[in-house]
Amino acid sequence: MSLDKNNKLQMTALTILRVLVGWHFLYEGIAKLMKDGWSAAGFLGQAKGAFAPIFHWIADTPAVLDIVNQMNIWGLIAIGLGLIMGAFTSIASIAGMMLILLYYVCNPPFTGLFYSLPSEGNYLIVNKNLVEFGALFVLAVTSSGKFLGLDLIISKLLKRK
Amino acid sequence: MSEEKKDQTPAKSGGGLDRRDFLQGLATAPVLGAFGLALGNQMHFDKKQKEKVQANQMEAADLPKTNVALLGAGSQGQVLMNAMLKLPYVNFVAVCDIWEEFNLIRATRTLKAYKHDVRSYTDYKEMLAKEKDNLDAVVVATPDFWHATHAIACLEAGLDVYCEKEMSNTLEGARSMVEAARRTGKKLQIGHQRRSHPRYRHCYDKIISEAEMLGRIVTVNGQWNRSVTPPLGYPKRAAMPKERLKKYGFESMEQFRNWRWYKGLGGGAIVDLGSHQIDIYSWFLQANPKAVMASGGNDYYPTDVCEWYDTVMVVYEYDTPKGPARAYYQTQTTNGSQGYYEKFMGDEGTLIISESEANNKGAVYRESTAPAWDQWVEKGYISAPKINTPGAEPDVVLDVRETATPDEHKIPVDFNDLYHRPHLDNFFQAVHGQAELNCPPEIGYETAVAVLKVNEAIKAQKRLEFKPEEFHV
């Protein structure tokens, strides 16, 4: 990939953004993995908004909840590793967007809705989940993985065949 | 990326991999190393925090086999027995209770089931005469008005004694116990078990004394709200004969079962419940009260069922080493909501604590103007703060005289064990010369002086003062 100076700076910035978001995903996954008996039940149980019944059903159905917990933990870890390493960046970013969208619609920061789990800021419709969603959208449509990341090697190997 | 200029030449077509590709492809890999390092640090920190907490939980001491008799096997005797069954060095030799039809049979059965070869007695004199050479210590859990007689008899038989609180229902009785302990040189531990509770010790040693997180404690507030219950009954076929009841100071089975509520036998709710917590007031304030005001009455139970006041409200005044302090205490027997706790408010923070794991377990709140507590969080004395966000508060503008709601820090000491176990363990360690008593008779006496005066103040309907010498024997 040959780039002019301006583009190089942009790609470096995107790489930094990718690594930061990746680090966050990875630790969110690992922290849940390390916490004995962690479950999304509390988060899902306080779901509000249009999709709340689905999330409540998940929280109240142990078999489903267990699968959701595992998928969430390992999804976060896989996406985190992918973003940090710049491997399959677009796929990882899109998967991350889907996961975050679920968090967002589960606990949307809409006027008049209150949650018992504390959040650390003040939000109106837009919260940090939505911001991270936007960041992942940028990462999904730019190929920073091919600039600094394993995608550079992966794409060349694929091209070679 | 200093090499980039030189590599500006277009990449070879055909997608061959060169060294530069690998460098660029793996450029972010070191981030994983940094992540691993940070994660390792975090895990180490979590583990250390956990260990600090566990260090505060008492494992039973490693003591030689200790031969013990239980004197009084009623409900409190059972509680202590269960705690001692979890102390591996305790060997029960004898158990004594006048209610042989019920308490004695039940305790003996339990102890035999746990492979303790115990002999049963209804009379403590007989037990002491026959067993004193086989015994190291006696645990006394008889009604308050028997404590002095029982404890002194055991001490004079050359045995160490753990005696339930209230030390005695009279100050003369309590004083004679202190004197007997001094005279015989035997250990006498009074059963204010919070004195050995890991969370209370943590709060006093670390939070109040070392870190001085509360600053100067100015007010104290505590309560024990207990649900109303009908008087205790008994199976008719297990009733004691009148003569035996009379021999041991009871008029009837009803009185025997509910001795805590009768004048001359117990001290009512303030002594039963309040004593535990008022003991903590003196401990944490490092002072005995100088005056007391109280109001109380039989607001719920009729006096023929409960002679003592079932509802009591007390205000104590203290001169602490750091300045004057006032303490409120209430105990009532109507509705158990909000349970029991003690709350200490200083100019730099508030501590709320209770023996219960379920309610008001323990937290400190930092006054926003107080010095930062970061180092205490780091040391594991308190948890990281739960920030009390203004989110759910009504939209009020804080007046200049108001300060924001303080952050809540939890006390990171869990104690999922029998409440009396550490205090008994401390007693047995002292018996073997491996520890000092956490509640020697002098302290039990001071608390008895402070607590028994409440009933006097209610009766007198005025503020009563303590002379400093009242607390000394």
State the 10-residue block means of pLDDT for chain B, 473 residues long: 43 67 92 95 86 65 95 97 95 97 96 96 97 97 97 98 96 97 97 96 96 97 92 94 96 96 94 96 97 94 91 97 97 89 96 90 90 90 74 51 73 87 96 96 97 96 96 94
Q: Which of B217, B281, B267 is nearest to B447 (CA)?
A: B281
Question: What residue in A sits closest to B19 (Cα-Cα)?
Answer: A153
- The pTM (predicted TM-score) of the whole model is 0.70
Residue B96 and residue B125: Cα distance in Å, rounded?
A: 10
- Residue A91: half-sphere exposure toward Cβ, Cα within 13 Å: 8
Q: For B86-208, where are the alpha helices, taking DSSP H only?
A: 105-113, 124-131, 144-156, 171-184, 198-202
Give yes or no for a contact between B302 and B262, defined as CB atoms under 8 angstroms apart. Answer: no
Residues B386, A159: C-beta atoms closer than 8 Å: no
Task: Report the DSSP pairing between strands B90-96 and B66-71.
Answer: parallel
Q: What is the pLDDT of residues A131-150, one digit of tens each?
A: 999 999 999 999 899 999 99
pLDDT at A19: 97
Residue B360 and residue B91: Cα distance in Å, rounded?
A: 36
Tokens for B61?
A: 């001491």
Residues B389, A85: C-beta atoms closer than 8 Å: no
Residues A84, B39: C-beta atoms closer than 8 Å: no
3-state SS of B275-301 is HHHHHHHHHHHCCCEEEEEEEEECCCC
Residues A148, B27: C-beta atoms closer than 8 Å: yes
Nearest by CB to B28, from A27, A86, A122: name it.
Answer: A86
Residues A160, B387: C-beta atoms closer than 8 Å: no
Chain B positions touching A114 (Cβ under 8 A) are: 391-392
Of B396 and A32, more confident: A32
Which of A1, A32, A46, A85 should one mutate to test binding to chain B, selecting the residue with the greatest count of B CBs within 10 A? A85
For chains A and B, what is the number of CB pairs under 8 angstroms? 69
Residues B389, A86: C-beta atoms closer than 8 Å: no
Rounded to a whole number of angstroms, the distance from the CA of B314 to the nearest CA of chain A is 37
pLDDT at A65: 93
Q: For B29-158, where are the alpha helices, taking DSSP H only?
A: 29-55, 75-85, 105-113, 124-131, 144-156
User: CA dist A65 to A14, A19, A39, B438, Å?
Assistant: 35, 30, 8, 49
Name which of A21-25, A67-71, B1-5, B169-173 the model is least confident about. Answer: B1-5
Nearest by CB to B35, from A18, A26, A120: name it.
Answer: A26
Which of A124, A127, A153 should one mutate to test binding to chain B, selecting the residue with the greatest count of B CBs within 10 A? A153
Residues A153, B25: C-beta atoms closer than 8 Å: yes
Alpha carbon of residue B55 to chain centroid: 18
Residue A92 and residue A94: Cα distance in Å, rounded?
A: 6
Residues A1, B15: C-beta atoms closer than 8 Å: no
The answer to whether A159 contacts chain B (CB < 8 Å) is: yes
The predicted complex's ipTM stands at 0.86
Residues B28, A84: C-beta atoms closer than 8 Å: yes
Q: Which of B172, B153, B150 is nearest to B163 (CA)?
A: B150
Chain A positions touching B4 (Cβ under 8 A) are: 8
**Residue A91: is its pLDDT beyond 80?**
yes
Q: What is the pLDDT of residues A94-109, one digit of tens each?
A: 999 999 999 999 988 8
